[in-house]
Amino acid sequence: MNQLSVQLPRMALLLTHLSRRLQPTHSLQLAGRALSRSSSARLCSAPLPSPLCDEHSRRVCRRPGAAPALAVRRLHTGDRRAGKVVPFLLSDIGEGIVEVVIKEWYVKEGDSVSQFDSLCEVQSDKASVTITSRYDGVVRKLYYSVDDMARVGQPLVDIESEPGSSDSEDEVQERDAIAVVGGEHYVLPTPTKVLTTPAVRRIAMENNVVLGEVRGTGKDGRILKEDVLRYVQEKEKGKPPKETAPAAPKKPAVQEVPKEAPKAPVETVAPRAQTVLLAEDKTAPVSGFTKAMVKAMKLSMTVPHFGYCDEIEMTTLVNLRPALKKSAEAFGVKFSYMPVIIKACSMALLQYPVLNASVDAACENITYKASHNIGIAMDTPNGLVVPNVKQVQNLTVLEVAQELNRLQALGARGQLTAADLAGGTFSLSNIGAIGGTYAKPVIVPPEVAIGAIGRIQKLPRFAADGSVVAAHVMQVSWSADHRVIDGATMARFSNVMKAFLEQPAAMLLQMK
């Protein structure tokens, strides 16, 4: 009993001491993350025995006897009086790409940016990609100049985040759809993907237009330059912007085919290339699309090619083209012979699906493709590219023309995306556009065939009665993988396509 009476005062003293230690921490927990650094410091000023502060705490605490700084450091969310400079890393853009060339900067040092604003456009060896911001803040440093090579995973820009942002910047960088609020994670709604080009995004940014509020009138809701300008004009007039739906295709008027054959297409002379006189040898790295072409051609040389050539009498289609061109203009579509050739090619592939196939590296398996994604080789300022018109078997000739117009416009600006270039199953090269007649096209693996379309020439030919007539003739050259395609199959395929082009009426009857 005497021993218990001696221990009770000691226990009471210990409990009093513990309550004095826990009181400031309990207050901090009630205050939570809403308290600023200054208010947290005032809470830490409750007097405690100095032995409770270790050497680190004495360095941090301004006054002797302050609470350990560990509790404060665990609870505060960052300095809200100044933003934090965050290095924005160039993320993986897929397709095994490890380096890109900076094509254009949309911002400069000192510019303010918001999330999803365009920072720059980069060029890989496969496509152009627009890099967008993940932060709200101010651009403090650009690590590269135009035409510099940037590597994936390395800093691209430094962005000073807006004051009041959390210390968890790196987490926001890795998880764009996650925000850290009060120590808990809330999944933000995923932003709606806007279909448009980098040039249109730049126009929208310069006019402070939120693209999500603009109704696109292009294919699949794509926002065009005209849509943004119309939105800006209506906004300046004080009217609510009209959500103009894509115009319904007008029914083309039936037009009679001219009885007299029109004049032969005027052969335009290509503009003469600028003469460049070098004072000394110049060495430049192989990059961009040229680098991709090097890789593709190395694979192509492992394929045993064989060639097949034929000529197609295009007189009927030449006579029909003025009517088709005028009808297409009513839809705002530029019409040429190429959409008809692409569609005829697709209809012939329905009869010979082996030509719309791919083989594996060891040529042990052949995959017959359900989709006719027909690639069109294009000569662009960045080099040779082969974007493809997808699902041609399900498209009308007019829809093929629309998609071809879009790809040609993007190719001329060097803005084709990886999606435009991927997934091809069969390819055509329109060498006639630059005056070519014959060619020996090179297969693009893993495809098994490719065709080269020559220019249409007005040449003398014998008619059925033996008289000499003027005919519009187009040469076509084919290359095929001789491991899986024989010459007879290639010839039969060419004959089917030839029949469709020489007799467009028969093609119309069989078109789905």
| Residues noted as catalytic | 482, 486
Report the interhelical angle of 315-329 vs 397-413 (nearest 10°).
80
Q: Which of 425, 439, 430 lies closest to 354, judged by CA?
A: 425
Terminal C-alpha separation, the chain: 105
**Strand 449-462 with 149-151, pairing:** unpaired
Residue for token pair 């045993």: 304
Q: Which residues lie below 8 Å from residue 184, measured CB to CB, with a gap of 6+?
A: none
Q: Based on the number of CB atoms within 10 Å of its own CB, is 96 exposed (0-12), middle (13-18) or buried (19 or more)?
A: exposed
Q: Which residues lie below 8 Å from residue 445, measured CB to CB, with a gap of 6+?
A: 296, 299, 300, 302, 303
* Type of residue numbered 136: D
Element (H, E) at 480: strand 468-481
What is the CA angle 103-109-113, rounded to 5? 85
Q: 263 in helix, strand or coil?
A: coil
Q: 426 in helix, strand or coil?
A: strand
Strand intervals (E) in 66-171: 85-89, 99-105, 112-113, 118-123, 128-132, 137-142, 149-151, 155-161
Q: Based on the number of CB atoms within 10 Å of its own CB, is 356 exposed (0-12), middle (13-18) or buried (19 or more)?
A: buried
- The CA–CA distances, whole Å, from 254 to 262, 324, 326, 327 equal 19, 10, 11, 9
Please give the structure tokens belonging to residue 279.
């004072």
Q: Based on the number of CB atoms within 10 Å of its own CB, is 483 exposed (0-12), middle (13-18) or buried (19 or more)?
A: exposed
